Amino acid sequence: MKISIIGTGYVGLVTGTCFAEVGHHVICVDNNEDKVKMLRAGGIPIYEPGLEDMVRKNVAAGRLTFTTSTAEGVQKSDVIFIAVPTPPQPDGSVDLSYIEKVARDIAAAITSYKIVVDKSTVPVKTGEKVAETIKRYCPAKAEFDVVSNPEFLREGFAVGDLMKPDRIVIGTRSQRPVAAMKEIYQPFQAPIIVTDINSAELIKHAANSFLALKISYINAIANVCEAAGANVQEVANGIGLDDRIGRRFLNAGIGFGGSCFPKDLSAFIKIAEQIGYDFKLLKEVQNINANQMERFVKKITDTLWVLKDKKIGVLGLAFKQNTDDVRSSPAIDLCHRLLKDGASLRVHDPKAMEKAKSLLPGVTYVEDMNEVAQGCDALVIATEWDEFKQLDLDRAKKGLTHPILFDGRNLFDPAEMEKRGWIYKSIGR
């Protein structure tokens, strides 16, 4: 199939590359000239395991090209995917201006039948608006169909998620685009759900808010465990073995972050309100998440008392492991809280230090995770990187003035840590 992808962010770049990998011809469009130059030269603007090699391979094979011209992308393809950002606005609703602009650009360029697919996460009813806009602004009055095809990839695992998806959702008003959509996804061998546009859009918001709910639920259970002297990991294992519940996304911590869950929750609550439903359940998911960070900070201040003039080592800046993404990262929020209370910080992240620097000035960036503890009053783990499990605990202990570890991601075993002489505080255990 001849495909163009408008917007070369996380979703756009990974989707385009994986489509090329299975043999489609893909043109990725981005209005950022520097990014397009970088991609043409074989570099990628994000850290995502496995992606760089796949981009290079498909560029070399001539199946993946990059341009800054939407018109070129539209004219040279049969199916046009929209993967531009849908950032939050101060009131929690979604800024759809990028989507609207792309819809007008597509309208200006189409002269024959095209399938326009929305992959960006959008509130329900956006597809209807996109269709109206293309119709209104298309001088050639060309035929087209709008399809909603939400993406479920996770950052850090994006290539694997895209190549082996749990399901493909295709939302459309007419049958005409279904065969082409099925052909695009046939190599991925996943169950395909064909539904209407509004349901497809809702599936995305409903999925992300359910996953966020699962995390807030286990965080609330963690708080009960702390009060009752129980262990949240044992509880998660015990309930997770029930197929109906499942063990994944039941890791208690300092709360969820990233560019999706917080934004999508706010957006879903807002759109529900606009169409007449007060989604109190999801508001509580947000409250538990915010409270989780406060509880962790309190744990630190309960132990260290005054943070002014204290030096704290922080492991982890990315919003989760396997990514260099620091957008809405709980780890960065935590650092800001500690700095506000007067602490000075030595920080480390395996991949996110460069991106953190503009958000987090005035801290010491340490290249070697085993050096972070040096001269500190306590060590904090803020991101669930697997690497941190290999931390040289004896060396860290020697470097600290007191062997105190606040583990916001439950990476170590409390009994073992105590045995090794640590004052070890984790979540819900």
**Could you list the active site residues?**
260
| Binding of ligand UGA by 388 (CB under 6 A) | no
Can you read off the two tokens belonging to residue 163? 């190549």
In the range 194-223, which residues lie near ligand UGA by CB under 6 A? 208, 211, 215
| Binding of ligand UGA by 155 (CB under 6 A) | yes
Of 85, 90, 21, which is closest to residue 56 (Cα–Cα)?
Answer: 21
Which of these ranges, 27-35, 249-257, 368-376, 397-405, lies near ligand UGA under the rule CB under 6 A?
249-257
Of 14, 21, 5, 84, which is closest to residue 46 (Cα–Cα)?
Answer: 14
For 382, the 3-state DSSP assignment is coil
Which of 19, 66, 81, 256 lies at the binding interface for ligand UGA (CB under 6 A)?
Answer: 256
In the range 290-349, which residues lie near ligand UGA by CB under 6 A? 319-320
Q: How far from the centroid of its chain's Cα atoms is residue 162's Cα?
A: 14
CB of 193 vs ligand UGA, minimal distance in Å: 15
Strands 144-148 and 168-172 come out as antiparallel
Which of 250, 267, 288, 393 lies at the binding interface for ligand UGA (CB under 6 A)?
Answer: 250
In the range 34-93, which residues lie near ligand UGA by CB under 6 A? none
Can you read off the two tokens belonging to residue 324? 């260099």
Kindly report each contact of residues 98-102 with a partner whose C-beta sits within 8 Å and lies 24 or more positions away, as own/partner: 98/7, 99/126, 99/130, 100/129, 100/130, 100/133, 102/6, 102/7, 102/70
Sheet holding 168-172, edge to edge: 64-67, 25-29, 2-6, 79-82, 114-118, 144-148, 168-172, 192-195
Which of 19, 66, 261, 406 lies at the binding interface for ligand UGA (CB under 6 A)?
Answer: 261
Which of these ranges, 191-199, 256-264, 269-277, 335-343, lies near ligand UGA under the rule CB under 6 A?
256-264
Measured from the CB atom, the residue of 37 and 247 that comes closer to ligand UGA is: 247
Which of these ranges, 88-96, 227-235, 248-256, 338-346, lies near ligand UGA under the rule CB under 6 A?
248-256
Which of 101, 154, 173, 295 lies at the binding interface for ligand UGA (CB under 6 A)?
Answer: 154
The set of residues, in sequence order, having a beta carbon less than 8 Å from that of 56 and lying 6+ positions away, is: 42
CB of 50 vs ligand UGA, minimal distance in Å: 15
Size of the site for ligand UGA (CB under 6 A): 21
CB of 112 vs ligand UGA, minimal distance in Å: 32
Can you read off the two tokens belonging to residue 293? 């960070």
Q: How far apart are CA 14 and CA 150, in angstroms?
A: 14
Q: How far apart are CA 28 and CA 39, in angstroms?
A: 10
Instruction: Identify each DSSP E strand in 289-335 by its residue range.
Output: 311-315
| Binding of ligand UGA by 410 (CB under 6 A) | no
Q: How far apart are CA 196 and CA 170, in angstroms?
A: 8
Q: How far apart are CA 112 and CA 259, in angstroms?
A: 36
Binding mask 97-136 for ligand UGA (x = CB under 6 A): ------------------------x---------------
Q: Which helix (H) or strand (E) holds 397?
A: helix 393-399
Q: How far from the centroid of its chain's Cα atoms is residue 192's Cα?
A: 23
Q: Tell me how many degrees the CA angle 266-118-12 measures, rounded to the nearest 5.
A: 90
Which of these ranges, 99-107, 164-172, 182-190, 250-258, lies near ligand UGA under the rule CB under 6 A?
250-258
Measured from the CB atom, the residue of 12 and 399 that comes closer to ligand UGA is: 12
Which of these ranges, 75-83, 134-142, 227-235, 243-251, lies near ligand UGA under the rule CB under 6 A?
243-251
CA distance from start to end of the chain: 52
Measured from the CB atom, the residue of 106 and 267 that comes closer to ligand UGA is: 267
Which of these ranges, 30-38, 99-107, 152-160, 163-171, lies near ligand UGA under the rule CB under 6 A?
152-160
Measured from the CB atom, the residue of 256 and 268 that comes closer to ligand UGA is: 256
Of 247, 256, 380, 263, which is closest to residue 312 (Cα–Cα)?
Answer: 380
Measured from the CB atom, the residue of 149 and 251 that comes closer to ligand UGA is: 251
Measured from the CB atom, the residue of 40 and 164 that comes closer to ligand UGA is: 164
Q: What residues line the site for ligand UGA (CB under 6 A)?
A: 121, 151-155, 208, 211, 215, 249-251, 253, 256-258, 260-261, 319-320, 384
